[in-house]
């Protein structure tokens, strides 16, 4: 019940930013299309990819089914599969649960954010700046973003996507804009904005998914509980009946024995 009302609130938050995030993604896709890779450092694919960063977004609190485990597993499996190909696979974490899970498995954690009360622009700007810095300084050659996408209240999907360098989505069409200032300059402001919007949106989407996951987990728990109560009541009644029958047989047997004398 609590999660249901939280979910409703989170969903309105998500809807507010969805338009902006989607349009921003489309616009960025169209603008970076056919752009020479050297136009912006965040566009260029590095020749040698040795160090990979995974940004994993989860939550602080549990009791929400496989929500955190699924995101953590995505990162863990990736690290295990690609372990021989890269020099370093590190993880940038949101949420205590994921930190605990991956920490126990001795994964390389660059930073973890826990106890994030509210996702706001300041937080997102800090995170975006940090991730861009990690990439530009050469600390990492590629960044993946992993979070839970909110499809509906009963369906959430774990996303594990390449994030930086930015790729042109395949369905984008090339548009020959007249642009002021030059396209290469616009890209300079557009891309950081796109990255922070994407992070913002992923965080909000992840939060919404968390509430939805918790809601169904709790609902399942309640219905499982009901089933168990029904089963246990049955067992209890059987046992009780058995006890009574045994006692009665004792008494009847005793009486019979006495009468037989």
Name the site residues for other proteins (rule: CB under 8 A).
Answer: 16-17, 19-21, 23-24, 27, 30-31, 121, 175-181, 183, 186, 189-190, 193, 197, 200
The label of the residue with tokens 């700046």 reads 129
Task: Supply the minimum distance, in Å, between the C-beta of residue 144 and other proteins.
Answer: 24
**Phi/psi class of residue 58: alpha, beta or left (left: φ > 0; alpha: ψ in -120 to 50)?**
beta
DSSP line for 75-112: HHHHHHHHTTT-SEEEEEEESHHHHHHHHHTT-EEEEE
Task: Supply the minimum distance, in Å, between the C-beta of residue 183 and other proteins.
Answer: 7
Task: Supply the minimum distance, in Å, between the C-beta of residue 180 and other proteins.
Answer: 4
- Between 82 and 179, name the residue whose CB sits nearer to other proteins: 179
Give the gyration radius of the chain's Cα atoms: 28
Task: Supply the minimum distance, in Å, between the C-beta of residue 126 and other proteins.
Answer: 15
Give the integer Cα–Cα distance in Å for 175 and 141: 29
- Between 17 and 218, name the residue whose CB sits nearer to other proteins: 17
- Between 175 and 235, name the residue whose CB sits nearer to other proteins: 175
- Angle at 193 (CA atoms; ends 161, 34), nearest 5 degrees: 65
Q: Are 43 and 187 in contact (CB under 8 A)?
A: yes
- Between 16 and 238, name the residue whose CB sits nearer to other proteins: 16
- Between 71 and 119, name the residue whose CB sits nearer to other proteins: 119
- Between 29 and 95, name the residue whose CB sits nearer to other proteins: 29
**Phi/psi class of residue 207: alpha, beta or left (left: φ > 0; alpha: ψ in -120 to 50)?**
alpha
Task: Supply the minimum distance, in Å, between the C-beta of residue 181 and other proteins.
Answer: 5
Q: Cis (ω within 30 of 0) for the bond into 123?
A: no
Task: Supply the minimum distance, in Å, between the C-beta of residue 26 and other proteins.
Answer: 9
- Between 54 and 128, name the residue whose CB sits nearer to other proteins: 128
Tell me the torsion sign for CA atoms 126, 132, 138, 141.
Answer: positive
Q: State the Cα torsion 56-87-106-75 to the nearest 10°.
A: 30
Task: Supply the minimum distance, in Å, between the C-beta of residue 136 and other proteins.
Answer: 19
């Amino acid at each position: 019940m609590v999660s249901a009302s939280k979910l409703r609130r989170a969903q309105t938050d998500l809807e507010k930013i969805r338009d902006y995030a989607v349009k921003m993604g489309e616009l960025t896709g169209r603008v970076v299309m056919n752009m020479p890779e050297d136009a912006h450092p965040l566009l260029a694919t590095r020749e040698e990819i040795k160090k990979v960063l995974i940004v994993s977004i989860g939550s602080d609190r549990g009791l929400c089914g496989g929500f955190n485990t699924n995101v953590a597993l995505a990162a863990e499996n990736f690290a295990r599969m690609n372990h021989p190909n890269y020099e370093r696979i590190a993880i940038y974490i949101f949420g205590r649960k994921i930190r605990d899970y991956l920490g126990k498995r001795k994964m390389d954690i660059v930073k973890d954010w826990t106890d994030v009360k509210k996702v706001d622009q300041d937080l997102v700007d800090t995170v975006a700046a940090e991730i861009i810095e990690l990439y530009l300084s050469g600390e990492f050659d590629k960044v993946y973003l992993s979070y839970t996408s909110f499809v509906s209240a009963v369906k959430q999907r774990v996303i594990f996507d390449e994030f930086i360098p930015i790729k042109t989505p395949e369905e984008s069409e090339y548009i020959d804009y007249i642009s002021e200032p030059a396209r290469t300059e616009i890209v300079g402001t557009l891309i950081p904005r796109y990255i922070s919007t994407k992070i913002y949106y992923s965080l909000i989407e992840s939060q919404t998914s968390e509430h939805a996951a918790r809601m169904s987990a709790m609902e399942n728990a309640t219905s499982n509980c009901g089933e168990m109560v029904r089963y246990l009541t049955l067992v209890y009644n059987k046992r009780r009946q058995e006890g009574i029958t045994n006692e009665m047989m004792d008494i009847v047997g005793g009486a019979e024995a006495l009468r037989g004398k």
